[in-house]
């Protein structure tokens, strides 16, 4: 579940407390609160020291399989119901306090639903102190003997510290002690019995490797975030009788000296760290003082009685412990008066208000508004975690919405790499909190996948270590005797000096002898000491000479090195100038390259556009050529057929004219060659009707498409060769057509006769003929033969293009036809009458070609009356 993740985008400022190469995930721990009643239904089970399992209680929605849904969640460590405050502190808070003493920041906050034990975990109860008093106890156990005097460090309004000398600090202390009500608690006060049991810690805890050459100062502050506003719980608000008075539950009250405080603003210091402007910071010198300050602010914190919790926190509380560290000077007596050498580290202990559902707490009015703001700030915290996780897992650069809530905005620096972040998830295993615990577990699962940069170790000031005890007088070390005691013990013991008898002459001589021995031994020791002293002086002299020669040698080498360094510095400056020049040239070349690349991309895009345009034009041209080719071919074929039809029609017309001329010539010849006789009487009309005159027979222009009836007199047909003589026809005769009794009947040899056109028949033929009948205006049936050519299409089918229409119509001759009157010619010798006639007198029914018809070229036959020669 853990992978390499990118850091959240932020200002391009490299902070002093972070490094980008090493990252640690947010440490998420789980603590399970004991049930209120032994027989109460439980929804959380501790599987092992890193895993818990959620059971769906009775009455809740089942999953798709019909079984109860069980979900497991993993943490860095899980603390069961029997975990003590000491065990929790050693695992979670002890490393944060150790980092605080070594100059690193830390953030520890408790998260969970209302009534899950967050405040108990942070503050504790009588007889069992929580994480906060234990952190204070460990801090003062570690730096107790190294603390600076009060007011040596002085806080300012820029989230930093100033250093005062001993005299200024003394004057400040005297001034504060002279005040009637000093703000700073005194270590000489008696501990308040209200919280005395909470700060009494039986186990002694101390940090290792504390810097003994530094002095320390501890400052604490206490704020709350209520309805997304920041309030200072340590601020001393003066009594104002005009303004309305309010109690801790935001309801009016009387006879009190509490006035609603003003909300504070968040600011950003020069190191881009967020802090509360104008917040009260109190310097404390012991655990009792620090917890007394905390308890004073805790009384002002907003709590209320809800349906789920008798003392429900209505705000997020933040208790800040700021540790100031400054090194001693070279003598180890006073604090080094250099502000740049001050190291400030901070540990923030946050007790978040519990998330709650209003239908369960039955909140109304102010409680409902408080619950809405609490849930909104916790939702913003979860959104920030989601965005951080997404940025680190997928490499995105989404903006983290820190500013949507004062809570996330205040601690944005910790998630940007300014210290370790630890979270304790407190859960109540009762079944009623199942849904809320499920949301808490999901948030914890997301949070422990977020990684923050690991803070670096602080820089070493460079002074000689051990300077605190260097100038202080030292006594005997352990049980080792002094040098004078050793010398006195080497002397022979003195005899008894008591003289009991006046005549005693032995005591004094023995005493004199012993003193002389001691004097002799002392003299020998003096001589030996002088001898060794001289030898030691000689050695010191040699050592001094050697040191001096080495110093001279080192000085010469140092001068050479300095010259070399000077030359290298000059070379470096020259190379830096050259590097700047090259960088400037590279920048110009990069800009030029960028311009050229942009031009190249534009030209490539333009070239691609032109190529696409040319390809489209080429494809359009090819389609147009194919279309034109098809049109030309179609037009050529159409005009070829049209020309053939016109030629055939012209030939037929010329044949008719030629036939008429031949008839006229024959008649003229007959008239010229006929002998003249007397003019006979004009025969009557009845005789004219009975007389049958023989006419010369000439070929009649009948098209090949019509064949006379069998009963008609035989005539000689003139056949001509057709282009389509060898083509097969589809003779399409609908079933609704009627059989006519005309002499000429449509007949096509070798044709496929169908009643309905089909693709199979069209595929076997090249020509198509449709027989269509309709009723003419005179009531006669008119038969039209619509002809066309069959073509194959691209899709594999057939298409018919109509090219010709022939019309077969039968007309009845009327009785009003006019005949031309003429004189009766003399009788011929052979008894036949000769009449001058034309084509109209030779054929009562003729077939002719009509060009220019609306339906196109075709045949039409009609009846015309006979005309006699005048």
Residue 351 CA to residue 360 CA, distance in Å, equals 22
**Helix, strand, coil tally for the chain in percent (to 5):** 35, 20, 40
Please say whether the beta carbons of 152 and 162 come within 8 A.
Answer: no
DSSP SS3 for 74: strand
Amino acid 816: pLDDT: 43
418-469 per-position pLDDT tens digit? 889 999 999 988 888 888 888 899 999 999 999 888 877 666 666 767 777 7
Task: Give every CB contact of residue 526 below 8 A, 6+ residues apart in sequence.
Answer: none
Amino acid 192: pLDDT: 66
Alpha helices in 193-281, H assignment, sequence order: 196-199
Please say whether the beta carbons of 132 and 203 come within 8 A.
Answer: no
- Which of the residues in the chain have pLDDT under 50? 1-20, 63-65, 239-246, 248-258, 307, 475-482, 685-724, 815-870
DSSP SS3 for 404: helix
Amino acid 798: pLDDT: 85
Q: What would the DSSP string read from start to end of 791-850?
A: EE-TTS-EEEEEEEEEEEE--PPPTT------PPPPPPTTS-----B-HHHH-SEEEEEE
241-281 per-position pLDDT tens digit? 444 444 544 444 444 444 567 889 999 988 888 999 989 99
Please say whether the beta carbons of 825 and 794 come within 8 A.
Answer: no
Amino acid 38: pLDDT: 79
């Amino acid at each position: 579940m853990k992978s390499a993740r990118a850091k959240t985008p932020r200002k391009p400022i490299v902070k002093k407390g972070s490094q980008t190469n090493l990252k640690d995930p947010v440490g998420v721990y789980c603590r399970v609160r004991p049930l209120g009643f032994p027989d109460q239904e439980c929804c959380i089970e501790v599987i092992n020291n890193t895993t818990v399992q959620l059971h769906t209680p009775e009455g809740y929605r089942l999953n798709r399989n019909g079984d109860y849904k069980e979900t497991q969640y993993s943490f860095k460590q899980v603390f069961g119901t029997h975990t003590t405050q000491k065990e929790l502190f050693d695992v979670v808070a002890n490393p944060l306090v150790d980092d605080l003493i070594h100059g690193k920041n830390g953030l520890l906050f408790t998260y969970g639903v209302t009534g899950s034990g967050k405040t108990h975990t942070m503050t504790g109860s009588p007889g069992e102190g929580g994480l906060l008093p234990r952190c204070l106890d460990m801090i003062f156990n570690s730096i107790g003997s190294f603390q600076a005097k009060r007011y040596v460090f002085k806080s300012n309004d820029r989230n930093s510290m100033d250093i005062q000398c001993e005299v200024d600090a003394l004057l400040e202390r005297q001034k504060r002690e002279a005040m009637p009500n000093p703000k700073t608690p005194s270590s000489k006060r008696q501990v308040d019995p209200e919280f005395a049991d909470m700060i009494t810690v039986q186990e002694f805890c101390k940090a290792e490797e504390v810097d003994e050459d530094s002095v320390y100062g501890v400052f604490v502050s206490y704020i709350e975030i209520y309805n997304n506003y920041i309030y200072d719980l340590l601020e001393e608000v003066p009594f104002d009788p005009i303004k309305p008075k309010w109690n801790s539950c935001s309801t009016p009250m009387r006879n009190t000296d509490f006035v609603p405080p003003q909300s504070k603003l968040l600011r950003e210091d020069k190191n881009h760290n967020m802090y509360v402007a104008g917040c009260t910071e109190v310097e404390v010198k012991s655990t009792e003082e620090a917890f007394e300050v905390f308890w004073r602010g805790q009384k002002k914190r907003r709590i209320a009685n809800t349906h789920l919790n008798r003392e429900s926190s209505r705000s997020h509380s933040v208790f800040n412990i700021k540790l100031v560290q400054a090194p001693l000077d070279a003598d180890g007596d006073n604090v080094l008066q250099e502000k740049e050498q001050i190291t400030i580290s901070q540990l923030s202990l946050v007790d978040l208000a519990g998330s709650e559902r209003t239908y369960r707490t039955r909140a109304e009015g102010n409680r409902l508004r408080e619950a809405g703001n609490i849930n909104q700030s916790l939702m913003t915290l979860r959104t920030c975690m989601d965005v951080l996780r997404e940025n680190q897992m997928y490499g995105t650069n989404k903006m983290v919405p820190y500013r949507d809530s004062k809570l996330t905005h205040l601690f944005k620096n910790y998630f940007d790499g300014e210290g370790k972040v630890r979270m304790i998830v407190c859960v109540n295993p009762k079944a009623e909190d199942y849904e809320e615990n499920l949301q808490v577990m999901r948030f914890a699962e997301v949070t422990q996948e977020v990684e923050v940069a690991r803070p670096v170790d602080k820089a070493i000031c460079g002074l000689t270590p051990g300077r605190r005890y260097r100038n202080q007088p030292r006594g005997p070390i352990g049980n080792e005797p002094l040098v004078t005691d050793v010398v006195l013990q080497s002397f022979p013991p003195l005899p008894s000096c008591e003289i009991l008898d006046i005549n005693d002459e032995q005591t004094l001589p023995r005493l004199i002898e012993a003193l002389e021995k001691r004097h002799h031994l002392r003299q020998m020791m003096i001589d030996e000491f002088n001898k060794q002293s001289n030898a030691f002086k000689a050695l010191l002299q040699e050592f001094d000479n050697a040191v001096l020669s080495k110093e001279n040698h080192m000085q010469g080498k140092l001068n050479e090195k300095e010259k070399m360094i000077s030359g290298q510095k000059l070379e470096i400056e020259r190379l830096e100038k050259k590097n700047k020049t090259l960088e400037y040239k590279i920048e110009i070349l990069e800009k030029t390259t960028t311009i050229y690349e942009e031009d190249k991309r534009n030209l490539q895009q333009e070239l691609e556009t032109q190529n696409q345009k040319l390809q489209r034009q080429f494809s359009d041209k090819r389609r147009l050529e194919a279309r034109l080719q098809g049109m030309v071919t179609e037009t050529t074929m159409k005009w070829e057929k049209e020309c053939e039809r016109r030629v055939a029609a012209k030939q037929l017309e010329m044949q008719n004219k030629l036939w008429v001329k031949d008839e006229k010539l024959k008649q003229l010849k007959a008239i010229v060659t006929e002998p003249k006789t007397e003019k006979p009487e004009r025969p009557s009309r009845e005789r004219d009707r009975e007389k049958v005159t023989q006419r010369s027979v000439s070929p009649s222009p009948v098209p090949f498409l019509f064949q006379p009836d069998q009963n008609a007199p035989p005539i000689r047909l003139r056949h001509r060769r057709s282009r389509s003589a060898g083509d097969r026809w589809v003779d399409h005769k609908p079933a609704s057509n009627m059989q006519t009794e005309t002499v000429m009947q449509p007949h096509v040899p070798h044709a496929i006769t169908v009643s309905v056109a089909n693709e199979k028949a069209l595929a076997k033929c090249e020509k198509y003929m449709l027989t269509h009948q309709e009723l003419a205006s005179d009531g006669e049936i008119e038969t039209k033969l619509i002809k066309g050519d069959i073509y194959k299409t691209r899709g594999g089918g057939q298409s018919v293009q109509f090219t010709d229409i022939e019309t077969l119509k039968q007309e009845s001759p009327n009785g009003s036809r006019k005949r031309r009157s003429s004189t009766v010619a003399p009788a011929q010798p052979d008894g036949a009458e000769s009449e001058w006639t034309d084509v109209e007198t030779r054929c009562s029914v003729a077939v002719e070609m009509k060009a220019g018809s609306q339906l196109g070229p075709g045949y039409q036959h009609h009846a015309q009356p006979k005309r006699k020669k005048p």
